[in-house]
Amino acid sequence: MISLNEESEASVKKLIERFDAIEPSIGWWHYIKGLWLVVDPTGKLTASQLRSEACTTFPDAHVMVMEIPTGGDWSGFGPEKMKQWLVDQWDKPQQ
């Protein structure tokens, strides 16, 4: 999980491009401003690496990155596609 206190449309696009450049199989969820859920199916990315990417992309933001195991309990409210990514990606057990 990446949490930011500020972001712009340009920086959001840049972070998505950085994810694709690092590992095309990275999955991400970003339906709430300042909050990203990131899934790395290769298991190579660390919280420190994600923090570095976020700090480079959002240089003026306060950044918090935490590893939260997928497959746990969650609840939310929003559009169906917001929920569907969580069901398809986040509900998968850790490899």
Residues 36-95: tens digit of each pLDDT: 999 998 888 999 999 999 999 999 999 999 998 877 788 889 899 999 998 888 876 555
Q: What residue spans of the chain are helical by DSSP H?
A: 9-22, 47-57, 80-85
Q: What is the pLDDT of residue 94?
A: 52
Residue with tokens 């929920």: 83
**Band (9; pLDDT cuts 50, 70, 90):** very high
User: Are 59 and 71 a contacting pair, CB within 8 Å?
Assistant: no
Q: What is the pLDDT of residue 19?
A: 92
Vertex 92, ends 71 and 19: CA angle to 5°?
105
Q: What is the pLDDT of residue 90?
A: 82
Q: What is the pLDDT of residue 93?
A: 56
Round to whole Å and give the CA distance between 23 and 94. Answer: 18
Predicted model pTM: 0.86
